[in-house]
Amino acid sequence: MSTSPSASIGRRTVVLGLSAGACALVLAPKAAEATRAEADELIAKLAGGAKPQMDARVKIKLPEIAENGNTVPFTVSVDHPMVAGNSVTAIHVVAEGNPAPQVASFHFTPTGKAEVYARMRLAKTQEVRAIAVLSDGTALEGRKEVKVTVGGCGG
């Protein structure tokens, strides 16, 4: 054990108390985070047992680097018909690096467009995964890396 003064305070305290940085400094606390295996398990459950196939029709719109990890805007859209018998029935959003990886689930009736917009919290740099469940029981997946950075220095 270290005897340095900061060893006695929690990591979160240290992080918040750190009023400064290289350039930027917003270290996200390394709290418990889900593993990829846990995320896979969760996704299998959400997809009702179907194994999601990576598919470019599932589009995730997210900033490459989050401006504020506490509220990251995202849009998920699925390029798929929305008619009875052939539609997207649900979109699930999973942030595998978050302590609670299930971000949101959206359920659709077969009409309009399969598109959702919301904001989420991201604890750290990670891949965000979107699962689209289709009316025939299959599932499609899209992924996007989002960096939650302590910052850098502009040119």
Partner 1 sequence: MLTRRDFLQVAAATALGGAVPLGRAAAGQTITQDSLLAFQPVGQVTLLAFTDLHAQLKPLWYREPAVNLGAGADRGLAPHLPARAMMNAFGLKPGSAEAYAFTADDFVHLARTYGKVGGLDRMATLVKAIRAERPGNTLLIDSGDTWQGSYTSLKTLGADMVEAQTLLGVEAMTAHWEFTYGEARVKELVDKLPFPFLAANIKDTEWEEEVFPAQTMVERGGVRIAVIGQAFPYTPVANPRWQMPHWSFGIREEDMRKQVDLARAKGADLVVVASHNGFDVDRKMAARVTGIDVILTGHTHDAIPAVVPVGDTLLVAPGSHGKFLARLDLEVRDKRVVRHAFRLIPVLADAIAPDPEMAALIERIRAPHAAELSRVVGHTRGLLSRRGNFNGTFDDLICQAMLSERDAEIALSPGFRWGAALMPGEAITTEAIFNQTAITYPNTYRTEMTGAMLRDILEDVADNLFHPDPYYRQGGDMVRVGGLAFAIDPAKPMGSRLGDLRLTRTGKKLDAARSYVVSGWASVNEGTQGPPIWEVVANHVAKVKEVTLPDSHAVRVVGG
- Report the interface residues with partner 1, using CB under 8 A: 2, 4-7, 14, 18-27, 61, 63-68, 73, 125, 145, 147, 149-155
Q: How far is the CB of 5 from partner 1 (least distance, A)?
A: 7
Shortest CB 20 distance to partner 1, Å: 4
Taking the complex as a whole, the smallest distance from the CB of residue 152 to partner 1 amounts, in Å, to 3
Cα 151 versus chain centre, distance: 20
Residues in the chain, total? 155
C-alpha to C-alpha distances, 90 to 7, 17, 60, 95, 124, nearest whole angstrom: 46, 42, 15, 17, 26
Assess contact for 72 and 95: CB atoms under 8 A. no
Between 1 and 84, name the residue whose CB sits nearer to partner 1: 1
C-beta closer to partner 1: residue 70 or 105: 70
CA-CA-CA-CA torsion sign (113, 119, 58, 85):
negative
Minimal distance, residue 96 CB to partner 1, in Å: 16
